[in-house]
Amino acid sequence: MIIHQIFNNNVISVFDEAGRERVVMGKGIGFKRNSGQTILASDVEKVFYLDDAGNHERFKLLLQEIPEEIIVLTDDIVTIAKLTLGKKLNELVYIALADHLHFALERHEKGLEIKNVLLWEIKR
């Protein structure tokens, strides 16, 4: 895999053997690396790819803003949902859920509370 873009020490964008762009995670995978360098598949812990090019670009933009922990949490939640439901989920769920979690955690850290006017209906 060839490094295309480095988001942080643990998340980078690569071109795989077929020339497709993928986002990969691994401990220290981007540390002291540059675009154009090769990484080993054994260094990769998780691979993210969205088939739709527009969605893939939005996901990459989110990676620049959202902490890695939220991306990992999002992937864990989506994986559990797929297994529980036994269905393939729309790839947009990664973008929407990661963005939602990030925004909710930011509001919580700032002490901002947003009342959900539909909470009674959701509970019902």
**At residue 45, does pLDDT exceed 80?**
yes
Going along the chain from its start, the domains and CATH numbers come out as 1-49 (2.30.24.10), 50-124 (1.10.1790.10)
> pTM of the full predicted structure?
0.67
Mean pLDDT for 6-29 is 88
Query: What's the pLDDT at 123?
Result: 87
Please write the tens of the pLDDT for every residue from 76-93. 899 899 999 998 888 788
The Cα–Cα gap between 122 and 124 comes to 5
Going through the chain in order, the beta strands assigned E by DSSP cover 2-8, 11-15, 21-25, 46-48
The Cα–Cα gap between 70 and 109 comes to 14
**Sheet with 46-48, edge to edge strand ranges:** 2-8, 11-15, 21-25, 46-48
Please write the tens of the pLDDT for every residue from 46-76. 887 777 778 778 888 888 888 888 988 988 8
**At residue 37, does pLDDT exceed 90?**
yes
